[in-house]
Structure 1
Amino acid sequence: MLSTNGKYGIIISKLPVMQTGLTGIMTRHFPEYELTYCRSQEELTLLQLRRADVVIADISGDYRNPRATLEQYYSLLSQYRGIHWIFLVSRPLYPVAVELLMRPESTLLSDREPIEGVIGAIRAGSERAERISQTLLAPEPQDMEEGYESCVLLTLSERKVLRLIGKGWGINQIASLLQKSNKTVSAQKNSAMRRLALRSNAEMYAWINSTHGMRELNLISAYGEPEEWKRTPQRDTSLSSKSA
């Protein structure tokens, strides 16, 4: 994506589904930004940081050594104060994020943040954006979530399809891996969305990336990922975000 106004943004996430979602937001609402992507802060270059106007960092999945990850971001915040840093934070990481990442140039959003919240934070910029979003400050509805989890049962096939979508696979790739037709895979994806009361692909991506969705699909595991899911899909240039 080429910028005509010289604005530059960086998206950091280990999850392909999060990169896809954030790219969609930026493309639609902020087409003036040129974007670059990283899986972690270790991949950032000095040139990227010197050019950046905004960095959107998804730290919702860094459970293994969260303090070390956030301390590295703290160091970057101290060095590059001209950047608006937007962090997507999960509930377990919230206390550490407040301790290390709360700065005048940073904004903390929930990993369940509505799209409007992300758009508003980017549009407001570092000077006018809320330091912590209301979504992150609101009490977590434990009872409701526990009841919700207990009543939603995905079939094994539906779970496999959603998990592969969360790993960045497209419908054609999933069909090839599972030795099913594209029609069958699409039907299983749609069936899973109906069970979860999800009305659009955007809502599906948000659920997959939520704490509940990642736990339900085992996208983040403290013991590493099962071998069957470590295979990296070959890029399928015929697919668009709609096919996922």
Structure 2
Amino acid sequence: MLPEKYRCAVVISRAPVIQRGLVAIMEESLHEYEVICCSTQQETSFSLLQRASIVIVDLTNDLHKARNACREYATMMVHLTETHWVFMVPLQIYPMAVELLLRSESTLLSSMEPIDGIINAIRSGSRRAGKVSEALLSPHVYETESENAPPVSLTYSERQVLRLISKGWGINQIAAMLKKSNKTVSAQKNSAMRRLSLRSNAELFAWINSSQGASILNLNKTYGDDGKWKTAEQENTLPLLNNVP
């Protein structure tokens, strides 16, 4: 058995904010893991998954083909029974996930799971397998808490920076696109976190992924002009998982 510091965690998600959020959580609370991020299951390999002690799968962006995705993961689990599978499940496909993915080696978490729930599921390992999180069993409790959260007022620049962070951009990329210094962008990010009473990058990514964060940052719309966004994206080709100061 490998020492703890050699544990491998594979994160599969199409959403940069989910990838970066899970990496931040692991770095801050579960630093014994080496984290490898993939956008789709096609980017993984059997040897990589076989090496992983935990695979965290975000199903949020697979709603249009949810049943096929669940079946494919169910087939993979048959061949990787020693791996702990953690599925982040949106409420829309919860019954399907229970039917196809809930097994002795898997845990179902809400796609809006609190940070503590994610950490506890990973730390518990196989002891938490075969479980469904309270955030899925009692979603109205978490929806009420989100609705009752006090309103937050961010400046235009702070919202602009957080929106770009949600797209998977690092501080260097954001500074280049907005023609600002790294120091200025970092200061705007930190200022936004103070207004939001967020203490870590993990909490920041959890907030961005929440209904309140998505609403305040208007994440359902593309930032700026489409042409400007595509041009900037082509010009900034730094790796997705740059550290966020």
- Is TM more than 0.5 here? yes
CA contact (8 A) 1:111 1:210 kept: no
Alpha-carbon shift at residue 155 of structure 1 (Å): 4.7
For 2:183 and 2:56, locate their aligned partners in 1 and report how far apart those are by CA, in whole Å.
Answer: 35
Alpha-carbon shift at residue 165 of structure 1 (Å): 0.7
> 1:166 is matched by which residue type in structure 2?
S
Alpha-carbon shift at residue 146 of structure 1 (Å): 4.8
1:38 corresponds to which residue?
Answer: 38
SS in 2 for 1:82: coil
How many residues in Structure 1 have an aligned counterpart in Structure 2? Answer: 235
Structure 1 residues 199, 8: closer, same or farther in 2, change over 3 A? closer
CA contact (8 A) 1:173 1:236 kept: no
SS in 1 for 2:8: strand
**Residues 140-164 of structure 1: per-residue CA shift (max 9 Å, x gap):** 2556645659x44555433321111
**Residues 15-50 of structure 1: per-residue CA shift (max 9 Å, x gap):** 333223322333454444443221111212121122
CA contact (8 A) 1:207 1:213 kept: yes
SS in 2 for 1:62: helix
CA contact (8 A) 2:9 2:54 kept: yes
CA contact (8 A) 1:61 1:220 kept: no
1:124 corresponds to which residue?
Answer: 124
Alpha-carbon shift at residue 191 of structure 1 (Å): 4.5
**What TM-score, normalized to structure 2?**
0.77
For 1:33 and 1:153, locate their aligned partners in 2 and report how far apart those are by CA, in whole Å.
Answer: 36
As a proportion of its length, which structure holds more helix? 2
Structure 1 residues 63, 192: closer, same or farther in 2, change over 3 A? farther
CA contact (8 A) 2:24 2:202 kept: no
Q: Does 1:234 align with 2:229?
A: no
2:23 corresponds to which residue?
Answer: 23
**What TM-score, normalized to structure 1?**
0.77
Structure 1 residues 229, 76: closer, same or farther in 2, change over 3 A? farther
1:107 corresponds to which residue?
Answer: 107
Q: How does 1:30-179 map to 2 (within 5 A)?
A: 30-129=30-129, 131-141=131-141, 142=143, 145-146=146-147, 151-152=151-152, 154-179=154-179
Alpha-carbon shift at residue 215 of structure 1 (Å): 5.3
Alpha-carbon shift at residue 51 of structure 1 (Å): 2.2
> 1:185 is matched by which residue type in structure 2?
V
Q: Structure 2: 5+ residue runs without aligned partners? A: none
Q: Bigger CA drift: 227-236 or 33-42?
A: 227-236
Cα RMSD (Å) of the superposition? Answer: 3.3
> 2:176 is matched by which residue type in structure 1?
S
For 2:193 and 2:207, locate their aligned partners in 1 and report how far apart those are by CA, in whole Å.
Answer: 10
Structure 1 residues 219, 65: closer, same or farther in 2, change over 3 A? farther
CA contact (8 A) 1:121 1:130 kept: no
Q: Bigger CA drift: 15-24 or 100-109?
A: 15-24
For 2:31 and 2:181, locate their aligned partners in 1 and report how far apart those are by CA, in whole Å.
Answer: 36
Structure 1 residues 212, 78: closer, same or farther in 2, change over 3 A? farther
SS in 2 for 1:61: helix
Structure 1 residues 126, 15: closer, same or farther in 2, change over 3 A? same
SS in 2 for 1:109: strand
For 1:226 and 1:153, locate their aligned partners in 2 and report how far apart those are by CA, in whole Å.
Answer: 26
For 1:152 and 1:81, locate their aligned partners in 2 and report how far apart those are by CA, in whole Å.
Answer: 45
